[in-house]
Chain A
Amino acid sequence: MIRITGGRVYDPANGINGEVRDLCMDGGSFVESVEGGRTIDATGMIVFPGGVDVHTHVAGGAINFARAMTPEDHRRTQAFIRTKTRRSGLGGMAPTTFATGYLYAGMGWTTVNEAAVPVLSARHTHEELADIPIVDKTTLTLMANNEIMLDQLENGEYERAKQVVAWYIWAAKSYGIKAVNPGGVAAWKWGKDAKQLTSPIEGYSKLTPGTIVTQLAQICEDLGLPHPIHLHCNNLGAPGNISTTIDTLKHLEGRRAHIAHCQYHAYGGDDWDTMCSETAQLADYFNAHPGITTDAGAVLFGDTVTITADGPWQHLLYKLTGRKWGNLDVENETSCGIVPYTYRPSNLVNAVQWASGLELLLLIQDPWQVFLSTDHPNGGCFWRYPEIIKLLMCADFRQECLKQLPDKIKGKIRLAEIDREYTLYEIATSMSAGPARALGMPKKGNLGIGSDADVVIYEEDEDVERMFGHPRYVLKGGEVVIEDGEIRETPEGREFLIKPACDPGIDDFMRPLFEECYTMSFENYPVELERIEHAEFADCLGSTRS
């Protein structure tokens, strides 16, 4: 039992904007009142719901590949020393599992969404998630290049495709689906890509990326997934890709959707020399369509390692940078590529990317629609979020940063003309309330009675980056996990999953198709429920769990 008293509370989901309120928690949830227990005096402090990361890559084959590829970064990065009860770990571009939990909790984030899980190695992802302490987790299954599913769409078998998707979600014990470069990764398996939404995909006669986008979004709606389609559009990172992105959004019209890391999809220009920001166009679309959400995928200058299921893009990046390249294609399902990268302010392309991420966060008016993310580790590491918060809250600081960009940037970006500054209320929306709502997690991202008692308490500080980087207290499930910058407790987090309704005959349908393209036994493929540590079921919309 804990009572937090006297703090200025920011709880956008409940419309509370900086009012002084007391919070009580017991048994992991907020309650009306408690008798006894600890009291935390938060007088003069700022109280937020724990952060929710809607799009990150913290566990599974891809990030683990990145860890193996970057020993030089582990040697220089933040190290967490072993204590009697706490495991050691390394931070950096691709933190180890234990350190991932410490770092997220250390800046007040208490829920993370691992946004790319191939079903074939979902067991591996869950094993890693079990080793990430403190935070609660969800996972999204990679679907838009699954050949069994694509074959159904190619043949016009929508209902079958829906069943296949439901089967895969349950096999992976995941929370929803992620669509990466629809059709493009399947083409990459032949060394090709899919850039046009309306052209048939390599290896198919009719199927286009556009069809995949529309139908997959509809499948998510029909299955009642709490989180809508989570879409990584085609043509990521390419100059002039704004037209693809807008075209994709039009294919989604009328449906719910979450567009991942939109910064990477908002460029104009014809080539690397003429590449410029087209964020205004994209932001206008979002402003006119309140039903879709997005996360920024903001870029921060410095070293990182890029990992994405977008194999073709990574091969291009490898050729551009001449640095290390890792690639792992997963049978029938997806691919992933890994390339270490350094974003430099002096590099015109990087400068456009840096500005674009911030522009989107600032030009999309409603913070319930655009969320804080760096697409960790692609645009920058998640533990650098406080830097972004400072850039959003301090227009002067932004202007200062703009000065380090090359002169040629003039005319390519809009950032210099934007004077909007985020309020604390808007930050709380973008880092917690908004992503929780988009993920369909009613007990996250708010401080209402009955919700999960995940709280972060900041001591007010003129230096916003320091304030958000070093919370005074972090509570997870009603337990103090961080106090005065020290890790106090490292409880295990929970994993949320769904069981979408599924035709019982689907197993018989899947088996022969499965055996044709996979190399493991059909029976051994689905992740056993008992492997998920602290599994918690979420309900699908408009249906009760079957």
Chain B
Amino acid sequence: MPVSFHLKRQPEVPLEAEVLSPDRICQLSNEEIRSLTVYHGKRQLPLGEFFDVEGERSNELEIHGNLAKVRWIGRAMSQGSVTVHGGVGMHLGAYMSGGQIEIHGDASDWIGAEMKNGLIRVHGNAGGQIGAAYRGARAGMKNGTIIVDGSAGLEVGMRMRRGTIVLGGPARDFTGLQMLGGTIVLLAGAEIRTGAWMKRGTIISLKPLTMMPTFTPATDYSPTFVNLYSKHLSLFGVQLPYAAADGRYRRYAGDSSVPGKGEILVWQPNV
């Protein structure tokens, strides 16, 4: 039986609720859960002030309501699941190391920032800095998977080291900025400066991209790993084309300003 939360009081200022994480909830009684501290701006208030809570002692959380002002849900979680019916605020699943998060709604910035492992799935749109490094940190997400069905903002995957980010909708500028490794899949392309200053890693785009001047087109080919990757992603309902009959990938190498050994693969369908 999952623990379920219904938002009953809309916060007027950001509500920092890192306690909405399976690791924090799983051992607690209903009463203990309701008395966990959340920060409404600077005010320390019990979770029960904002949420009706049903159930106890479970590492499955179900949250209902418009949580756009609720930040840090699933922070550093290592197990279990969080399902949200509604939108969520910033830092969803930041630093998480395991478990799954599923959002039936929109999410905000810094989803899965510096995460170590686990799965985040957003069915709506998301903000910027997905799987990114916080200011000054050397690396963003170290592993795990983030899938956003809708669009995304700036600096997606900034300095990510490993793991996968899949975007169903378009991304804005600086996707894969200073990327160190891992894979970003863009099903609907991105605006400008994709892969800027990337050192290593792979960006796959199914739509044409405006390339940085410091990327050089190498070859058109059908790499086998896309085939394997597509099979892996099909678990999440994501399809990548790879059949030679349908088209080929143009491989760009860069960013030569670093100089880096990253690659951007842009799908060229046969006409």
Contacts and interface: CB of A to CB of B under 8 A. Distances in A.
Q: Do chains A and B touch in the complex (CB under 8 A)?
A: yes
A71 B137 CA distance: 8
A257 B134 CA distance: 45
A314 B134 CA distance: 25
Interface in A63-112: 69-73, 75
B138 interface: yes
Contacts of A72: 134-138
Contacts of A69: 136
Interface centre among A70, A72, A73, A75 (most CB of B within 10 A): A72
B9 to A, nearest CB: 27
A447 B136 CA distance: 45
Contacts of B137: 72
Interface in A165-222: none
Interface in A36-79: 69-73, 75
Contacts of B136: 69-73
Nearest to B133: A72
Interface in B134-190: 134-138
B167 to A, nearest CB: 26
Nearest to B139: A72
A73 B137 CA distance: 8
A71 B133 CA distance: 12
Nearest to B137: A72
Interface centre among B134, B135, B136, B137 (most CB of A within 10 A): B136
A89 to B, nearest CB: 17
B180 to A, nearest CB: 12
Interface in B108-137: 134-137
Contacts of A70: 136
Contacts of B138: 72, 323
A70 B138 CA distance: 10
A75 B94 CA distance: 14
A73 B134 CA distance: 11
A84 B134 CA distance: 31
Contacts of A323: 138
B264 to A, nearest CB: 23
A321 to B, nearest CB: 11
A323 B135 CA distance: 14
B39 to A, nearest CB: 13
Nearest to A75: B134
Contacts of B134: 71-72, 75
A72 B134 CA distance: 7
A220 to B, nearest CB: 40
Interface centre among A69, A70, A71 (most CB of B within 10 A): A71
Contacts of B135: 71-72
A87 to B, nearest CB: 16
Interface in A456-476: none
A70 B135 CA distance: 9
A46 to B, nearest CB: 40
A75 B75 CA distance: 15
Nearest to A71: B136
A461 B218 CA distance: 67
Contacts of A75: 134
B129 to A, nearest CB: 15
Contacts of A71: 134-136
Nearest to A70: B136
B45 to A, nearest CB: 18
A342 to B, nearest CB: 11
A73 B138 CA distance: 11
A323 B134 CA distance: 16
Interface in B17-63: none
A90 to B, nearest CB: 13
Nearest to A324: B136
A305 to B, nearest CB: 11
A71 B136 CA distance: 6
A16 to B, nearest CB: 48
B135 to A, nearest CB: 5
A404 to B, nearest CB: 24
A323 B137 CA distance: 11
A339 B135 CA distance: 16
Nearest to A74: B136
A501 B138 CA distance: 51
A528 to B, nearest CB: 36
A408 B135 CA distance: 38
Nearest to A323: B138
Interface string A507-519: 0000000000000
Interface string A369-405: 0000000000000000000000000000000000000
A55 B137 CA distance: 29
A71 B134 CA distance: 9
A70 to B, nearest CB: 6
B150 to A, nearest CB: 29
A69 B134 CA distance: 13
Given A70-B136, A72-B136, 11 more contacts: A69-B136, A71-B134, A71-B135, A71-B136, A72-B134, A72-B135, A72-B137, A72-B138, A73-B136, A75-B134, A323-B138
6 contacts: A70-B136, A71-B135, A72-B136, A72-B137, A75-B134, A323-B138
CB-based closest 4 A-B pairs: A71-B136, A72-B136, A72-B137, A71-B135
Interface of A: 69-73, 75, 323
